[in-house]
Structure 1
Amino acid sequence: MQQWEYRVVHININNDTPPQPPSPQSASQKLGGSLSPEFIAKEFPKVYSKQAQKPPPKQKHPAEQLQHFLNQLGAERWELVETTQVGPLLMFFFKRPKQQAANPKPDVKGESKPKAS
């Protein structure tokens, strides 16, 4: 009888504005002002220096990203069987035939083991 294994993947559906690059001002605000923006910028120069704030590389369109992801799963023999939205999550349900475990070789009884010298 055929057995199946399943995989569920979710994608957050977020129509908010895209994330902004890190800034010492927003980090200070998140910390309730306990650390000044100047202190944060000085202590974490790799994150907040002008060089570190290069514009991010242009990302592929979300549909193209999803297509690439689905093709990868297809190459692993996963078949998309359903999608459904649960609140802000888009759920993808995949299945594929379950791999039959290789039968381990039974122990052969009556074999003599070499004696230790």
Structure 2
Amino acid sequence: MIIAHKIALDPNDVQETYFRKAAGTARFAHNWALNQWQQQYDAWKADSSLPKPSDAALRRQLNAIKREQFPWMLEITKNAPQMAIIHLGQAFKNFFAGTAEYPT
């Protein structure tokens, strides 16, 4: 009976560098989005006519500025920062549903 497959990665130097860049970009995007979410949520609490923050809006905002402010993000796949922000959005949904702690 096969229960699982165990696959080990053995990247060469170029692949390892790419993986590290992708992980660093995802971490940066998560931290950037968390900061923006907090700022936009505080602004929304002060003025409810402003839109609530959302992961889709943050992804659009990052895509609009990354060519000028973060050109190094273009060296890796777009999925790294995109999925980091999507996961942050899910973390906030879980927090507001009461099933998780505040995202950090």
> Which bracket does the TM-score occupy, shorter chain normalised?
under 0.3
Q: Which one has a larger percent helix, Structure 1 or Structure 2?
A: 2
Q: TM-score, normalised by structure 2?
A: 0.26
Q: Which one has a larger percent strand, Structure 1 or Structure 2?
A: 1
The structure with the larger Rg is 1
